[in-house]
Amino acid sequence: MGVSESTAHKKIREIQAAAGFEVLEARAAADGRKTVRLTPRARKLTDRFSRFTAGLDEEVAQRYRAAFGK
């Protein structure tokens, strides 16, 4: 991702504070490594946000062309 681990942890804490719930869950994989994934609640939120933002770029581009003729 191009950010330090401490910066990533800080951002995750900020997101969780804003959301009001845990967004990540850690588990031990079969090979003993730790895996981290979105919680079901966070996955639902990201899916809803994706549906909300779908098509926004094209909508903005159309409005820009309508307003500025480019």
Q: What's the pLDDT tens digit per position in 6-62?
A: 999 999 999 999 999 999 999 988 888 899 999 999 999 999 999 999 999 999 999
Q: How many helices (H) does the chain have, and how many strands (E)?
A: 3, 2
Do residues 25 and 17 lie in contact, with contact meaning Cβ atoms separated by under 8 Å? no
Tokens of 13: 């804490």
Residue matched to tokens 């910066």: 7
pTM score above 0.85: no
Give the phi and the psi of residue 20 in degrees, each rounded to 5. 85, 15
